[in-house]
Chains A and B, each alone.
Chain A
Amino acid sequence: MHGRPRRAAKPEDEEASSAKAAKLRDLQAQVLQNQHSGTYTKEAIGLSFKLLEINPEAYTAWNYRKLAFQHNIKELSEPEAIKSAIDDELRVVEVALRQNPKSYGAWYHRKWLLNQKLAPVDSKREFGLLDKLLKVDARNFHGWNYRRFLARFMGVPDEEELNYTMDKISDNFSNYSAWHNRSILLSNLLIKQNKGFESKQKIFSQEFELVTQALFIGPSDQSGWFYHLWLLAQTSTPDNPQLIASWPCSGAKLSSSLVKEKVEQNTLSSIWCHSLQERTVPMVLYFNEPVKGLNQSSVKLKSDLDFGKDIHWRALSMTDSGYSSCWTTYLQIANECSSSQQYSVEVSIPCSDDIVSRSGSNYNCPVHFTFTIELISDDAQDIDLFDKPVAYFSEPLESHGNCEPIPFDLLKITGALVEEDSNWHFERLSEEIDLFRELPDDNCKFVKLTLARLLLACAAIKSCGRSPHERKRYCEEALGHFSDLIRLDPSHKQYYEDERSLVLMDKLTCDMETFVKHCSVQVQPNSIPLNHVQLCKLSLTHVGFAERLMWVQVLDLSHNSLRSIEGLEALQQLVSLNISNNHISSFTALEPLTKIMFLKVLDLSSNEIGAHSMDTTRYICSSPFSHKIEAHEAFEECQKKNINVEEYWDAILFFKPLKLGQLDIKGNAVASKENFRTLVMTLIPSLKWLNGECVN
């Protein structure tokens, strides 16, 4: 079934196939005719059998058979007659499966028949059929799907099915389907806490032992590694979703204005929140895994401030799945205030059945924190950031005189709760690391990748245990592995580069000592001090650990190799972003920025936007905005100005929601195109500076 070379067609084959095609067309026409006319005679049904015998993919014929079956079964009352009618149908499926064991239609027809529940199912026959089929091709996933269906339908205990997967793995462990079914069955058994499956630790230790036996024999065989990856994921992530960061953080003091003297005296005690000028506070909650179900009752807010009637939580994610790690809401302050006043906001997230992860586990670590908002109703409202174009520092932060240290105690993040049994997790992972370090085939990409993943999982656990040094050591080793992988397996270079970027960002941001070298408070003349982070010239291709950057207002990611900026959507405080001199190749790759409401300054210069005729981001992004049509007004607007909408659709969708004051886009192929300037001016009326020049 697998790995068979295709044979070149011979002339006589072609003749035969054209004869077959003519016969098929004829049969198909007759079956369709019968379907239209609702003819369910024996001869008509026989014709559909003939068609399916040759071509089991003729889905209409299956549906016709279903209709005919339902039609004819009504007239039967004898249990024997009904049984024989069902047997006939089952036999048709078997004939079709002999022709093509991977026919969707045939398998579905069988399931449908069983689901009619007209006669008791002969489980021996069904399992016998499956045994035969899986003997011919142990990796036929249709067979495995049907097996799962049958086991559920017949109420076969999961333990038995688990033993069956073991048998198949013993026959040949290169069987992804068997390993996969094993993971499903084990998850069920562990959730149901069946006898012998009470201890997740014990079961997983055994499974690690089992799969590593296979991995050590065939380190270049993929199926075992997939299973190992599943085990690793199960071991390194907590069972229930956890809140790992929030903005504003616990104890934060947000202010709509700052008293200049205080800034100069370096006695800053509050964070200037730009959006407060518009009486809006974006709030962001960041979980360790994608969740859904955040609403007014699952996240409780208590404050003297009046936030209007509805607090609506939105998933900050590029996918439409409804699940997201990152959720935001904009708190609209409706209060009238005459003088400076402080209000506290209490946030509590109790255990909740509303908030659930993809695996179905609910949120069960209650969190409670408070932040304060200082409203000042003085003349500070006039502050305008964009009198002049904002300039970026070109030198490293340390050497810059204007930098002030970030008041980190204000930026604390809610740490994830340490799991009770993380000791076991850590020991288990360490054992696996030691094991794979000893695997003699050290040039195997799977070994290196798994080692890197294990090290990172250990690093993640260590951060809960607050040992940044160990964490960094793990990161260092993982970085080495990713560098090796880039060399060893060039066809997956981009994936490894992305992973390496994540580790690099982890390493740089996991402890204050290192992170502070990249942070400062930017104080520009006549301006507000802004929290500034600079991560330049690091060869980053991907953004990670956004939850540690949610307080950042000015972010400099220039001179990297960014292809994507997914993750930045969590930075709702972001006012100014520099991603110049990167490898951004299309506007679709910039979609996350459309989610940042208060972004004012954007430097996109010297990227590759418009340089590639093919926008590959569209294939990589889970849901690029090509799927959305909400901006049709913008399209009309552009059409009026003679802008080619077909050519610029992604630019239009990107610029429309932005409220930029300053944009740099020179050094991109798209910037020199006809009408591009008109397009930007049309779509961003708030723009004051384009490519360093005042637009007025």
Chain B
Amino acid sequence: MAEDQAHDYPTIEPTSFDVVICGTGLPESVLAAACAAAGKTVLHIDPNPFYGSLYSSVPLPSLPSFLSPDPSSVPLVPSGDDSHTVVDLHRRNIYSEVEIWGAAPEPRRFTVDMVGPRVLYCRDEAVDLLLRSGGSHHVEFKSVDGGSSLLYWEGQLYPVPDSRQAIFKNTTLNRTEKTFLFKLFKLVMAHIAAADEDGEGEASDKISNEDLDLPFIEYLKKHELPPKMIAGVVYAIAMADYDQNTDCCEKLLTTREGIKTIALYSSSTGRFANAPGAFIYPMYGHGELPQAFCRCAAVKGALYVLRMPVSALLMDEERKTCLGARLTSGQDILCQQLILDPSYKVPILDAPSDGSDSNLLRKVARGICIISKSVKQDSSILLIVFPPKSLEEQQTAAIRVLQLSSNLAVCPPGMFMVYLSTPCADTSTGKQSIKKAIDALFAPQASDSLEGHLEETSKNNEDLKPAVIWSCVYVQEIMEGTASSFLSCPTPDELLDYRSILDSSKKVLHCMLHFLLNVPASKVLPQEIFSCR
């Protein structure tokens, strides 16, 4: 097979580009679209036969090979013309600890996101980007409108009210709790209106700077919210990851940051007439997003070649500047700027940081489950948050769970896809947390032979947890984008949205444009794509 493919490699003309980008993940695709829109010549290649790289959505049967690829799939090519210093590239697998159970019926009809659980805020930068770049023509979204998010607290799921009406309809809060919660909402909304210059809010409505610098959790405690609601606001609305109750928290959310996310959330609801909730999800999976940007790039003249790995970097003699890339086909392509997706490993360049301190790397444990009954009746798309310590004392980070249904075209009717993720320092605790969350939400994998047992409990069948049909748990390393002699894009992160990924892609773009034109990046930024700051 590999042999045949090698013969099929096309020859690329021309052999010199302004920018060569390898990998079609979301950051690479956005950069390709930006460069093409800026009038640069762009070659965009991908080793895989599909778009998306680490950001793709793959059919269920392809998942095992995606997570644990055959290491020998990058063939070594005999070195050709050696007018450059050639640095061999290796690909690394960022996935580890893959465990898969069960068997799904009709597995081809399931599409699995590699970035899940993930959604877009309607007022997200990613959405603005899609609209401005024209990428929105190539992808369709559905509103995640299963009502409010659910919070796992003391063994039960509670809706987290996110608006005045949701507080009104909520049946699990008592009246006094409602008063305090809405008071906080009002304060925050007044602050947001006042902070927004165009708004009609008054400066006196702003929350004081002292309060804004407080840890968000302290601010909420000041407003007499009970612990359950604090957890709801901090982990299910402000989307904090790590336990905010410890003194030595790695990422202590300040009130300012918390309110920023709430502001994004509240401005997201109602942005689009057909999306009542704050979140949207791309039909057919997240893999559609990089494709949409690739199409934008292609429209602006970028050249696309799939099934084309890069085997080596072409460097100058001092190994300081990257001059181009050697493709697996053996062809050398020269470029001013090379961008690689994070699965490429350059042995010499990042030698010191390789392997030895991998425990310091950020990681995210992910889980994917297939179930045939919704976790909550009457809603098919759901967001569930397990705050830290809600499952066990050792649980240091929040676990986010997203349930998707067949109307997003990611699974057959009657089935549900569930994604889980939690950031972790070491692989075993991360996996442990994901497994605990799966146990808390679902019944153990059911064997259908136990009919009698089912009948006994059929009277409270409604309360019965859904059974897991198929599941997969794995751990993914997280890498930031880097800029050295070549640029490297970030991997998918542990967050629920693309904001951080886009921020770091933007930094990469700034570096690159600065390098290419030797002028301040802000002057050359193509307005139609990256105009928001």
The smallest beta-carbon distance between A184 and chain B, in angstroms, is 22
Give the segment of A167-175, A530-538, A549-557 that binds chain B.
A167-175
CA distance A219 to B183 in the complex (A): 10
- Nearest 6 CB-CB pairings of A with B: A216-B175, A217-B182, A216-B179, A216-B178, A217-B178, A440-B179
**Residue pair A170, B168 in contact (C-beta under 8 Å):** yes
Q: 9 more A-B contacts (CB under 8 A) besides A217-B168, A217-B182, A440-B176?
A: A171-B165, A213-B175, A216-B178, A218-B182, A435-B175, A438-B176, A440-B179, A440-B224, A441-B179
Give chain B residues whose Cβ lies under 8 Å from the Cβ of A440: 176, 179-180, 183, 224
Closest A residue to B200 by beta carbon equals: A5
**Residue pair A219, B175 in contact (C-beta under 8 Å):** no
The smallest beta-carbon distance between A266 and chain B, in angstroms, is 59
**Residue pair A170, B165 in contact (C-beta under 8 Å):** yes
Other-chain contact of B165, A173, A216, A435 (Cβ < 8 Å): A173
CA distance A170 to B147 in the complex (A): 13
Other-chain contact of A173, B168, B175, B180, B224 (Cβ < 8 Å): B168
Give chain A residues whose Cβ lies under 8 Å from the Cβ of B168: 170, 173, 213-214, 217
Give chain A residues whose Cβ lies under 8 Å from the Cβ of B176: 216, 438-440
The smallest beta-carbon distance between A139 and chain B, in angstroms, is 15
A334-370 CB contacts (< 8 Å) to partner B: none
B437 at the interface (CB under 8 A from A): no
What 0/1 readout, one digit per residue, does chain B (170-192) give for beta carbons within 8 Å of chain A?
00000110111011000000000
Closest B residue to A224 by beta carbon equals: B168
CA distance A438 to B224 in the complex (A): 14
Closest A residue to B164 by beta carbon equals: A217
| Interface positions of B (Cβ within 8 A of A) | 164-165, 167-169, 175-176, 178-180, 182-183, 224
CA distance A173 to B180 in the complex (A): 18
The smallest beta-carbon distance between B263 and chain A, in angstroms, is 21
A212 at the interface (CB under 8 A from B): yes
A-B contact pairs, 8 of them (CB 8 A): A173-B168, A213-B178, A214-B168, A216-B178, A216-B179, A217-B179, A218-B164, A218-B182
CA distance A438 to B180 in the complex (A): 12
Give chain B residues whose Cβ lies under 8 Å from the Cβ of A438: 175-176
CA distance A219 to B176 in the complex (A): 11
Closest A residue to B185 by beta carbon equals: A217
**Residue pair A170, B169 in contact (C-beta under 8 Å):** yes
Closest B residue to A216 by beta carbon equals: B175
CA distance A217 to B168 in the complex (A): 7
**Residue pair B165, A439 in contact (C-beta under 8 Å):** no
Give chain A residues whose Cβ lies under 8 Å from the Cβ of B169: 170
What 0/1 readout, one digit per residue, does chain A (436-465) give for beta carbons within 8 Å of chain B?
001111000000000000000000000000
> Could you say which of A173, A213, A214 has the most chain B C-beta atoms within 10 Å of its C-beta?
A213
The smallest beta-carbon distance between A208 and chain B, in angstroms, is 11
**Residue pair A172, B175 in contact (C-beta under 8 Å):** no
The smallest beta-carbon distance between A212 and chain B, in angstroms, is 6
CA distance A217 to B173 in the complex (A): 11
**Residue pair A212, B175 in contact (C-beta under 8 Å):** yes
CA distance A439 to B164 in the complex (A): 17
CA distance A440 to B167 in the complex (A): 16
The smallest beta-carbon distance between B163 and chain A, in angstroms, is 10
Give chain B residues whose Cβ lies under 8 Å from the Cβ of A173: 164-165, 168
What 0/1 readout, one digit per residue, does chain A (400-440) give for beta carbons within 8 Å of chain B?
00000000000000000000000000000000000100111
Give chain B residues whose Cβ lies under 8 Å from the Cβ of A439: 175-176, 179
Closest A residue to B224 by beta carbon equals: A440
CA distance A210 to B167 in the complex (A): 12
What 0/1 readout, one digit per residue, does chain A (146-189) give for beta carbons within 8 Å of chain B?
00000000000000000000000011110000000000000000
The smallest beta-carbon distance between A433 and chain B, in angstroms, is 14
Give chain A residues whose Cβ lies under 8 Å from the Cβ of B182: 217-218
CA distance A440 to B178 in the complex (A): 10
Closest A residue to B175 by beta carbon equals: A216
> Could you say which of A218, A219, A435 has the most chain B C-beta atoms within 10 Å of its C-beta?
A218
Give chain B residues whose Cβ lies under 8 Å from the Cβ of A212: 175
CA distance A613 to B166 in the complex (A): 54
**Residue pair A172, B165 in contact (C-beta under 8 Å):** yes
Give chain A residues whose Cβ lies under 8 Å from the Cβ of B179: 216-217, 219, 439-441
Give chain B residues whose Cβ lies under 8 Å from the Cβ of A218: 164, 182
Give chain B residues whose Cβ lies under 8 Å from the Cβ of A217: 164, 167-168, 178-179, 182
> Could you say which of B169, B176, B178, B179 has the most chain A C-beta atoms within 10 Å of its C-beta?
B179
The smallest beta-carbon distance between A231 and chain B, in angstroms, is 16
The smallest beta-carbon distance between B330 and chain A, in angstroms, is 65
The smallest beta-carbon distance between B221 and chain A, in angstroms, is 15
The smallest beta-carbon distance between B390 and chain A, in angstroms, is 26
Closest B residue to A438 by beta carbon equals: B176
CA distance A338 to B502 in the complex (A): 112
The smallest beta-carbon distance between A165 and chain B, in angstroms, is 14
Give chain A residues whose Cβ lies under 8 Å from the Cβ of B167: 217
Closest B residue to A436 by beta carbon equals: B175
The smallest beta-carbon distance between A216 and chain B, in angstroms, is 4
The smallest beta-carbon distance between A114 and chain B, in angstroms, is 32
Give chain A residues whose Cβ lies under 8 Å from the Cβ of B183: 440-441
CA distance A173 to B164 in the complex (A): 9
The smallest beta-carbon distance between B121 and chain A, in angstroms, is 23
CA distance A441 to B186 in the complex (A): 13
The smallest beta-carbon distance between A162 and chain B, in angstroms, is 17
What 0/1 readout, one digit per residue, does chain A (194-231) give for beta carbons within 8 Å of chain B?
00000000000000000011101111000000000000
Closest B residue to A209 by beta carbon equals: B175
Closest A residue to B186 by beta carbon equals: A218
The smallest beta-carbon distance between A444 and chain B, in angstroms, is 10
The smallest beta-carbon distance between B177 and chain A, in angstroms, is 9
CA distance A216 to B175 in the complex (A): 6
CA distance A213 to B169 in the complex (A): 8
The smallest beta-carbon distance between A456 and chain B, in angstroms, is 23
The smallest beta-carbon distance between A437 and chain B, in angstroms, is 11
The smallest beta-carbon distance between A573 and chain B, in angstroms, is 50
CA distance A173 to B178 in the complex (A): 14
Closest B residue to A439 by beta carbon equals: B179
CA distance A441 to B183 in the complex (A): 9
CA distance A441 to B181 in the complex (A): 12
Give chain A residues whose Cβ lies under 8 Å from the Cβ of B164: 172-173, 217-218
CA distance A435 to B180 in the complex (A): 15
Give chain B residues whose Cβ lies under 8 Å from the Cβ of A219: 179
CA distance A279 to B144 in the complex (A): 85
CA distance A342 to B167 in the complex (A): 71
Give chain A residues whose Cβ lies under 8 Å from the Cβ of B175: 212-213, 216, 435, 438-439
Give chain A residues whose Cβ lies under 8 Å from the Cβ of B178: 213, 216-217
Closest B residue to A171 by beta carbon equals: B165
A27-74 CB contacts (< 8 Å) to partner B: none
The smallest beta-carbon distance between B175 and chain A, in angstroms, is 4
The smallest beta-carbon distance between B334 and chain A, in angstroms, is 61
Give chain B residues whose Cβ lies under 8 Å from the Cβ of A171: 165
CA distance A287 to B183 in the complex (A): 44
CA distance A475 to B182 in the complex (A): 32
Give chain B residues whose Cβ lies under 8 Å from the Cβ of A435: 175
Closest B residue to A210 by beta carbon equals: B168
Give chain B residues whose Cβ lies under 8 Å from the Cβ of A441: 179, 183
The smallest beta-carbon distance between B525 and chain A, in angstroms, is 37
Give chain B residues whose Cβ lies under 8 Å from the Cβ of A216: 175-176, 178-179
CA distance A435 to B179 in the complex (A): 12
CA distance A213 to B178 in the complex (A): 8
